[in-house]
Structure 1
Amino acid sequence: MSFLPLFPLNLVVFPHEDLNLHIFEPRYRQLINECLEENKTFGVPSFINGKLRGYGTEVEIKQLSKRYGDGRMDIKTRGLRIFRIVDFQNPAKEKLYAGGDVIFVANEDLNEEINPYLLSLVERLYQLLKIKVDYAKPEYMPFSYRIVHKIGITVAEEYELLTTPDERVRQEILIEHLERIIPVVTEVERTKERIAMNGHFKELDPLNF
C-alpha cells in the first residue's frame, strides 16, 4: 500500500496517456509544487456524476510548461499505473489537498492485437463525421486506450474501461458503443443532407403508376 496526493477530476486518465493541466486552486498549487520539489507522483481519481470513484491513475509531471506571477501553473503529465483507493483523506494530514492510501492494481493488458471489426467501425465513424483523427501511438499503449477519448464515449463508459483488465474485453465494450452510435450519426448526416437540399432545384425521376 502506498500514499498518493490526490487530484480528483471529472475525467478518466489512462496509463501512458499525456494530459495537460492548468493549475490554479491553492490546494493543487501546493500539491504540484511539492511534487516538483520532491520529484513525486500524484493520483487522478475519477470524479463522476458528483461522486468520487474508487479507481484512478497515478501520473508523473513531465514538464512545468509555464509558471504565472500569481502562482498558477501549466504542466504536462503522463499516466503511469492504475490504483484503487483504500483510504481517502480530504484534506490529507497537514495539507490543503486530498490524499489517500492506494493499492496499485495489475489491470493493464498490453496486448496490441486490434479487432479488425472494431477498426472498421472506427473508420466508418470518422468517414461519417468527415474528420481525420490520428490514433497512432507507441506500441506499448493498447488500442483501447488510444481510441477511447476519440469516439464520443461518456466519462462513465471510460471509467468502465479503466477498471476492465482485459484488452479484448475493452475492445468489445468499444464495439458495443460504436454499434449504438453509428446508426444515430448516420441518420443525423442524412438529415443534414435533406436540410441542405431544401429549396434547391431537384432533378426528379418520373414515377410510373
Structure 2
Amino acid sequence: MSDYLPLFPLKLVPFPGEQLNLHIFEPRYRQLIQDIKEGDGLMGIAVFLDQLKPLGTEVKLQEITKVYEDGRMDIKTIGTRIFEITTFDNPKKGKLYAGGMVVYKSNILKVNKALYDEFVFFLKEFFRLIGHEVDLTSSLVNSFTLAHKIGLKIEEEYELIQMEAESDRISYLIRHLRRIIPVMRELELVKSKIKMNGHFKNLDPLDF
C-alpha cells in the first residue's frame, strides 16, 4: 500500500505506538501542522542521520497543546506505522514543507513465547539495575514499547525499524541487553564498594 505524506525530517527514530511530543517553530512546519489538522492528521517523520534515510515513521496528530503568540506550537502525536520513501519532493508543490510517496512496511507481530519470555526477563533485569519499576505484565509490551529507554544508539534504533518481523526485533534487543547488562552489574558492584568504603570504620588496634 502506498500513499503521499507530508514529510518532517528529524534526527530521531519514532516507533509505532510511541507518544512523540514536538515543539514546532519553523514556518514550513507550522504550515504542515495546520494542513494536517484540517486533513487526516497524518504526517511522516523522515529519519535524518548523516543524510535522509529511506525509512521513517508515520505519526498521527493527537493534539495541539499550545499555540504561542508568534505562531510556534507544542503538539502531541503518536507513531502508527513504518514506511519507506519512494519519492521525495522538497518542497511539496505549492507548500513550504517536503512531501513524498511512501510504501508502508509490514509489521509481523507474532513471536514464540520462549523468545518473548527471555526478552521480558532481560528487560526486568535492566530496569532493576537502573532502579526503575516498569510494568511488564501487559501484553501490549512489544519490541518498540521500551526501545528508547534501554540505551540504544540512534543508528541501532534505525536498524530496529528496518526489521519487519517482531521475532527479529526482539532477538536484536536481547543481544543488546545481553551485552550491556554484565557491564551494568559490574558498575553496580563498583558503586556498592565505593559506598561501603565511604563509611567510617571502627578499627581495633592491633595487639603486637
Which amino acid in structure 1 is aligned with residue 174 of structure 2?
I
**3-state SS of the aligned residue for 1:5?**
strand
TM-fit CA distance, 1:27? 1.2
Aligned pair in 2 of structure 1 residues 134, 98: CA closer, same or farther (>3 Å)? farther
- Which has the higher mean CA deviation after the structures are superposed, 126-135 or 55-64? 126-135
- Which residue is equivalent to 1:93? 93
TM-score by length of 2: 0.87
- Which residue is equivalent to 2:39? 38
CA RMSD of aligned residues (A): 2.1
Pair 1:179-2:173 in alignment: no
What are the ranges of 5 or more consecutive residues in structure 2 without an aligned counterpart? 204-208
Report the identity percentage.
47
**3-state SS of the aligned residue for 1:143?**
coil
1:14-53 aligned within 5 A: 14-48=15-49, 50-53=50-53
Q: In 2, Cα distance between the equivalents of 1:63 and 1:158? A: 26
Contact 2:86 2:102 in 1 (8 A): yes
Q: Deviations over 1:56-85 (max 9, x none)?
A: 111111111111111111111111221101
1:135-174 aligned within 5 A: 139=139, 141=140, 143-174=142-173
Aligned pair in 2 of structure 1 residues 153, 197: CA closer, same or farther (>3 Å)? same
TM-fit CA distance, 1:185? 0.9
Q: In 1, Cα distance between the equivalents of 2:109 and 2:132? A: 28
**3-state SS of the aligned residue for 2:16?**
coil
Q: Deviations over 1:6-57 (max 9, x none)?
A: 0111111122222111111111111101111223411012112x22111011
What are the ranges of 5 or more consecutive residues in structure 1 without an aligned counterpart? 205-209
TM-fit CA distance, 1:133? 2.7
TM-fit CA distance, 1:189? 1.5
- Which residue is equivalent to 2:58? 58
Q: In 2, Cα distance between the equivalents of 1:158 and 1:39? A: 27
Which amino acid in structure 1 is aligned with residue 58 of structure 2?
E
Contact 1:111 1:142 in 2 (8 A): no
Q: In 1, Cα distance between the equivalents of 2:188 and 2:55? A: 37
TM-score by length of 1: 0.87
What stretches of structure 1 move > 3 A for 4+ residues in a row? 134-137, 201-204
- Which residue is equivalent to 2:206? none
Q: In 1, Cα distance between the equivalents of 2:79 and 2:198? A: 52
